[in-house]
Structure 1
């Protein structure tokens, strides 16, 4: 049954993505602010498909640490493709820092670029870092919430990847506190995994790390906090299905 659900979800996911991207093409001619509601609607549809088809629900704790408005810098654990979707529903003006290759996806890449997400050339060296800081400061000035994955890629549960210095550079350039986030999303939606297992995915938002911390201290505290909380989530196992779910029940 899990395999059948996974087949149905993948079909629904790719069909939904293609249809929204194509139907939203006229938005590319409009101001960039018109694009975000379209992308958020797509994210909402995907989360509903996960719930209805795969039986995957979300449980978010620490949401009081997330801003209701104004700029923020969020450093999130990255175990699953879901992590690149859910933040569109958790903060009002999400601005993902994402790999440049995603912009090459037909239609979808156009919408992502129009929405003002920040692409990063992972092979670009110093020039890429300077562009990241420039774009990050612009997004902060516009009151957006930056979401960056400090490991730079999806990392399967139980595996380790060093945290990249881009998060510390962004914190210094923007002057924002860093909000750490842990998750066990890879438990149900694995890295590059076709199979999606039913259950509850936990997302744990931790208290912000103060602005102005020296870079070595920030990196040490950030990694220790996220990894410790991720280990706790994994050791605790799936959350009881009776818990309150904080996924929006209406299109934002």
Structure 2
């Protein structure tokens, strides 16, 4: 069984990363022709490619639970694998993504994230870093665009429930959007370390949390909601 998982994983990496190269090389042309309006559906094409490769070669599929809001929101998602970051961009119809500033410095990829409208965040929780985050979030708000953040700050093993980073509170206050928490269990099947196993990743949208709540209450409600699947187990 382990040998099969290793072979499937290597096949996935070969197909997905090799296939992503020409997609990435065309980014400047797509940006030149259509800017952000063209980049968002182009990125979703890449997401579909990833979904196909994961299902076909890894046996990993997605179960999406919940109803998408019809107004701008701040999505706050659990982060256990790269898998959900690619899936959610497509499933949520292209929200502005909060990501690490280091990723915006990668040649071509960084350019793609800027055209897409990503919001770069610094690792340090300094006042200057938070001001930059709030300023970039304001651009998304002016566009009436939803925003997605992974408020724990990094990928965590399935079952881990670290506290939220301070940047979430800044976004919550600046955007003044309702928050839609998102629970995932991708770490069961596509762990940060080790070999993926076949299964169905659950992505579950929670009930909206209204804007304007006291910081501690908002953070507590988001933390509880994104960790609803933290105790999930089994093979899916």
CA deviation vs aligned residue, 1:9-29 (integer Å, no higher than 9, x gap): 011121122110012321232
Gaps of 5+ in 1: 240-252
User: How many residues are matched?
Assistant: 232
User: Contact 1:6–1:194 at 8 Å: present in 2 too?
Assistant: no
Shift of 1:209: 0.8
User: Contact 1:76–1:148 at 8 Å: present in 2 too?
Assistant: yes
Name the counterpart of 1:168. 169
User: Contact 2:74–2:146 at 8 Å: present in 1 too?
Assistant: yes
Aligned counterparts of 1:179 and 1:2: Cα–Cα separation in 2: 34
Shift of 1:143: 2.1
Aligned counterparts of 1:45 and 1:144: Cα–Cα separation in 2: 25
Name the counterpart of 1:247. none
User: Contact 1:73–1:179 at 8 Å: present in 2 too?
Assistant: yes
Q: Secondary structure at the match of 1:201?
A: strand
Matched, 1:57 2:57: no
Matched, 1:24 2:27: yes
User: Contact 2:125–2:167 at 8 Å: present in 1 too?
Assistant: no
Deviating 4+ runs (over 4 angstroms): none
Name the counterpart of 1:178. 179
Name the counterpart of 2:97. 96
Shift of 1:104: 2.4
Aligned counterparts of 1:41 and 1:183: Cα–Cα separation in 2: 22
User: Contact 1:79–1:184 at 8 Å: present in 2 too?
Assistant: yes
Aligned counterparts of 2:128 and 2:20: Cα–Cα separation in 1: 32
User: Contact 1:71–1:141 at 8 Å: present in 2 too?
Assistant: no
Pairing partner for 2:7 from 4, 8, 33 = 4
Gaps of 5+ in 2: none
> What TM-score results when the alignment is normalised by the length of structure 1?
0.87
Name the counterpart of 2:230. 231
Aligned counterparts of 2:110 and 2:21: Cα–Cα separation in 1: 11
Name the counterpart of 1:72. 73
Aligned counterparts of 1:205 and 1:144: Cα–Cα separation in 2: 18
Matched, 1:41 2:45: yes
Shift of 1:170: 1.0
Name the counterpart of 1:147. 148
Shift of 1:124: 6.2
User: Contact 2:99–2:119 at 8 Å: present in 1 too?
Assistant: yes
User: Contact 1:28–1:110 at 8 Å: present in 2 too?
Assistant: no
CA deviation vs aligned residue, 1:176-214 (integer Å, no higher than 9, x gap): 1111111100001111x3522111011111001111111
User: Contact 2:160–2:230 at 8 Å: present in 1 too?
Assistant: no
Q: Calculate the aligned-residue CA RMSD, in Å.
A: 1.6
> What TM-score results when the alignment is normalised by the length of structure 2?
0.92
Aligned counterparts of 2:46 and 2:202: Cα–Cα separation in 1: 21
